[in-house]
A and B are shown apart, each in its own frame.
Chain A
Amino acid sequence: MTTTFGIAMAESGDEFVPPGPNSFDFSAVPLFHLGEYAVTKPLVQLLLGGLVVFLFFYAATRRVSLVPGRMQFAGESAYGMVRNSIGRDIIGSHDFQRFVPYLVTLFFFILVNNVMASVPLVQFPTFSRASMAYALAALSWVIYNAVGIKKHGLLGYLKLQTVPSGVTPLMYPLLVPLEFFSNIVVRPVTLALRLFANMFAGHLLLILFTTGGLYLIEQGGIGYVAGPLAWVLAIAIAFLELLVQFLQAYVFTLLNAMYISGALADEH
């Protein structure tokens, strides 16, 4: 991204180039080629993110004991947070255990990949690539629907998800399509877009304020004041982004847990 930008800036001379979708497109600058596939930075980040999550937990569980060491304690706290405050509290103590691996993986995979936007030298949120958010949302959709269908059967599950209880059947023609739309169709879309758009927008904002600040300083004049100010704002935004990164990972996992819990529910 920075390289493409540097080139763009050099070519355009004094013209400011605002960041845009191209700032997120690495297909022109693959890191290396694997056969016929160009391996871009986000793809490597995905792998790196998965590796970091696994290595963290592996190190935390390498020597487990009843009285945890520092590493084990960190791992247990992280694991316990997702397990208890997302898994057990939302899904319920009866069913949650079998979803814990999924929820833990989901949360930390998203979190680490989001935080990469703030890691020096990496500085790119993996899930600002929409297709990667689509993948996780699609998996969520498959999982919560599969869980529901397995428990209630296809018709039972559709009834559970689309027929609201405590409503006169006269309203069904209106409500059933609406419920179907909101519970079956829209959920994965919002799930993916929420994650993608937050990461995308945050990164866009950061690029704008940092490159814009540089441009202002290069212009001179009032830019000597406005440029550094833009950079101060960029730092503030970077901190805000840290919060957003955590929040998005949390919300994605929490919604997954709620969808699963809804699919497992006995009554609507």
Chain B
Amino acid sequence: MQNVIIRAEEGGHAPENPLGFVPVEFATSLVVFGLLLFAIWKFVVPRFEKTFAERTEAIEGGLSAAETKQAEADAKLAELEKQLADARHEAARIREEAREQGAQIVAEMREQAQAESSRIVEHGKTQIEAERQQAVTSLRAEVGALATTLAGRIVGESLDDEARQSRVVERFLADLEADGSTSTGSGVN
């Protein structure tokens, strides 16, 4: 230590107190620090803060946009589901209607067929009745004639024995049958 001091003094340079105050260094520190502070304040901090704010905003904006989109999608989905349900309902309704209509048509057809059949039956009955009337009428006329003829024959022949009697009747009936086979449409049922 002694040497250092001596040498320093030899060089015309007193040993410095390390805690000593050096005005130039003090002032320069303040000036440089002040300039740096100004530069950082002016150019650096605003840009960083702006970026931070923008980033926060972008993230929040993105989130809210996503939320809006989600809500829209949900609404759309709900709407579509509603439409689908409506469509299903509509389809069911149409099917039901068709079924009812089909049943109605079947019922109508059945009714119609019944009416037709009963009409046909009625018609048949009427015709049969008419024909029967006609047959009865013609029969009535023929029976009179036949009875007359038969009576004439019976009267004409001698009715002494039973054999003859039956022969006459049988002959009469055979004639009658021969007549019936020749004259069509006027037979008794």
B-contacting residues of A (Cβ < 8 Å)? 8, 11-12, 15, 17-18, 20-22, 24-25, 27-28, 37, 42-43, 46-47, 49-50, 53-54, 57-58, 60-61, 64-66, 68, 72, 75-76, 79, 83, 97, 100-102, 104-106, 109, 128-132, 134-136, 138-139, 196, 200
Contacts and interface: CB of A to CB of B under 8 A. Distances in A.
A136 B25 CA distance: 11
Contacts of B7: 8, 11-12, 17
A180 to B, nearest CB: 24
Nearest to B30: A135
A75 B26 contact: no
Of all A-B residue pairs in the complex, the 7 with the closest CB atoms, nearest first, are A135-B29, A131-B25, A101-B41, A61-B47, A57-B44, A50-B36, A131-B22
Given A20-B4, A131-B22, A101 B40 contact: yes
B11 A28 contact: yes
Main secondary structure of the interface of B (DSSP, over half): helix
Nearest to B57: A66
B18 A105 contact: no
Given A130-B19, A135-B29, 18 more contacts: A17-B4, A21-B15, A22-B15, A24-B18, A46-B29, A47-B28, A47-B32, A50-B35, A57-B40, A58-B44, A64-B48, A66-B54, A83-B48, A101-B44, A104-B45, A130-B18, A131-B23, A132-B26
Interface residues of B, number: 42
Interface of B: 1, 3-4, 7-8, 11, 13, 15-30, 32-33, 35-37, 39-41, 43-45, 47-51, 54-55, 58
A105 B36 contact: yes
Nearest to B33: A109
Contacts of B15: 20-22, 25
B20 A43 contact: no
B40 A105 contact: yes
